[in-house]
């Protein structure tokens, strides 16, 4: 992993990001989607790039058998302290046996693998270790996330950030040359169709790309409404609407390994 990425996560624990502001919407909506697409407990789930175990802990509480794999030592340690079966590892070269899980979550690796062949390797590994007919769910950051952040956070006044946005839109590769924490770290931002194509290239079937936060993620203070099931139902109604999917900060692609 790029040393800049390791440094970033050492300074900014992923648990904190999902505990406030738009991160709450991302977490609640991801849980809402996973409840619908995962096989029922006690299915075996591998959480690849699961960070400090936010989703692994939640899934274990629902009765799933969960193992977490992450390349950041601090994340693995924090997950273990929460009672999660967590091990260090690389999404591109998993040590898990073939067809050994009912579902595989790829919840962070695609964010930070900027080369297409590395993303494909990670997705092929997920497809390898899930059983035939099993589910793979892969999270990605939308190509347009920085553009929206420029308005939401007022960063459009900073020429440095406008250069970052321009590069994101042109190439999908997000870089923060001056390592300003506010502007994230080295990453790859997907267009929705591109994300779907990558899962298909990994040999997965029935690919769906779902908007996680949707446009609600760009409304200041909207996280307070996401304790209401009516709000979750409304967002779910348009979660796969092609005209709106790219407007979400985060995407979740869901697919299955072919049965034969």
Quick check: is 203 in a domain? yes
CATH for 36 = 3.40.50.150
Q: What is the pLDDT of residues 152-197, one digit of tens each?
A: 888 899 999 999 999 999 999 999 888 887 888 899 999 999 999 9
Quick check: is 107 in a domain? yes
Contact 199, 140 (CB under 8 A): no
Give the number of domains in the chain.
1
Task: Work out the percent of the chain whose per-residue pLDDT is above 90.
Answer: 80
Of 28-42, 131-145, 154-168, the range with the lowest mean pLDDT is: 154-168
User: What φ, ψ does residue 181 adopt, rounded to 5°?
Assistant: -55, -35
d(CA 187, CA 94): 21
pLDDT at 1 over 80: no
Q: Which two tokens stand for residue 85?
A: 């079966």
Quick check: is 164 in a domain? no
Residue 141 DSSP symbol: E
pLDDT at 49 over 80: yes
φ/ψ bin of 11: left (φ > 0), alpha (ψ from -120 to 50), beta (otherwise):
alpha
Structural domain boundaries, residue 240: 3-143+189-256
Quick check: is 166 in a domain? no
pLDDT of residue 15: 66
Q: Which of residues 148 and 202 earns the better pLDDT score?
A: 202
Give the mean model confidence (pLDDT) for residues 46-75. Answer: 96
Which residues, listed in sequence order, are joined to residue 189 by a DSSP beta bridge? Answer: 141
């Amino acid at each position: 992993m790029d040393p800049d990425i390791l440094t970033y996560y050492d300074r900014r624990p992923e648990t904190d990001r999902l505990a406030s502001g738009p991160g709450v919407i991302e977490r609640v909506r991801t849980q809402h989607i996973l409840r619908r697409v995962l096989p029922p407990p006690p299915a075996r789930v591998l959480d690849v790039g699961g960070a400090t175990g936010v989703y692994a802990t939640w899934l274990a509480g629902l009765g799933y058998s969960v193992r977490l794999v992450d390349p950041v030592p601090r994340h693995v340690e924090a997950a273990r302290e929460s009672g999660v079966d967590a091990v260090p590892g690389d999404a591109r070269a998993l040590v898990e046996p073939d067809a050994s899980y009912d579902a595989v979550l790829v919840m962070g690796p695609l964010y930070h693998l900027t080369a297409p062949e590395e993303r494909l390797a990670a997705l092929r590994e997920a497809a390898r270790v899930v059983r035939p007919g099993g589910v793979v769910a892969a999270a990605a950051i939308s190509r347009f996330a920085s553009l929206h952040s420029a308005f939401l956070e007022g960063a459009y006044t900073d020429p440095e950030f406008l250069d970052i946005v321009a590069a994101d839109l042109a190439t999908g590769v997000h870089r923060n040359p001056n390592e300003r924490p506010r502007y994230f770290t080295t990453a790859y931002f997907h267009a929705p169709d591109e994300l779907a194509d990558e899962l298909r290239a990994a040999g997965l079937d029935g690919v769906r790309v779902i908007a996680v936060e949707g446009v609600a993620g760009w409304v200041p203070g909207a996280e307070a409404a996401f304790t209401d099931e009516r709000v979750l139902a409304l967002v779910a109604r348009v979660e796969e609407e092609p005209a709106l999917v790219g407007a979400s900060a985060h995407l979740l692609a869901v697919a299955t390994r072919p049965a034969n």
